[in-house]
Amino acid sequence: MVDPSSDYRELCDAEAEGVPLVMVPFLNAKPSETGVVGPECLSQWYISNFTLDDHNFTSAEQYMMWQKATTFGDEDKAEIILGAKNPSKIKKLGRKVTGYDADEWTRISVDVVYKANLAKFSQVGALGDYLTSTGKNVLVEASPTDSIWGAGIAADDERLATPSQWPGQNRLGFVLMRVRDELLK
């Protein structure tokens, strides 16, 4: 099981010890005009095809919301999510899952996101290459509006370089660093 809270504590300990930290902020899922893969591929909304649990997915967000619907027995919503392609629409569909249990989703969602991203980055070579090229840098979802999956701050916020000052948990960043570690084994 992935535990972002322990990763966060370790990162804050490193910060307190004066370990140099290099941040890689990401948020926008739009591919670059040059076609070169960059931090945009770290977004849950980045369009990339992968297969998992005998289904084809177009984004990690789609897998996450499909798994949410499946977990809570909303098979109709799961089918609609599988047919949807727009990550924004997929997220909205995920918010309408019937039978949703917030405590249960909190308990399993990090592992769901880990599984989706491990499939995404291991099956799409250019994405895996980018992720592993980030080395030991700290991946930060620089979303000022998301304090759970993101760090709760924008990429240009001076607090970005100081993890102990992040208002958010940066769960996605920590999950991606775990995926990176797995790919580097």
CA distance 182 to 185: 5
Going from N- to C-terminal start, the domains of the chain cover 4-27+51-183
Pair 104, 71: CB distance under 8 Å: yes
Average pLDDT, the chain: 95
Band (62; pLDDT cuts 50, 70, 90): very high
CB 138 within 8 A of CB 20: no
Give dist(CA 145, CA 162) in Å, integer: 18
CATH 1.10.357.40 fits 4-27+51-183, yes or no: yes
The whole-number pLDDT of residue 6 equals: 72
pLDDT of residue 32: 86
Residues 6+ apart with CB under 8 A from 34: none
pTM to 2 decimal places: 0.95
- Per-residue pLDDT of 141-169, as tens digits, reads 999 999 999 999 999 999 999 999 999 99
Q: How confident is the model at residue 128 (pLDDT cuts 50, 70, 90)?
A: very high
DSSP string, 25-90: EE---PPPTT----GGGGSTT----EEETTEEESSHHHHHHHHHHHHTT-HHHHHHHHH---HHHH
Confidence band, pLDDT 50/70/90 cuts, at residue 3: low
pLDDT at 1 over 90: no
The C-alpha atoms of residue 181 and residue 66 are separated, in whole angstroms, by: 26
Pairing of strands 23-26, 138-141: parallel
The answer on pLDDT for 35 being more than 80 is: yes
Q: What is the pLDDT of residues 93-104, one digit of tens each?
A: 999 999 999 999
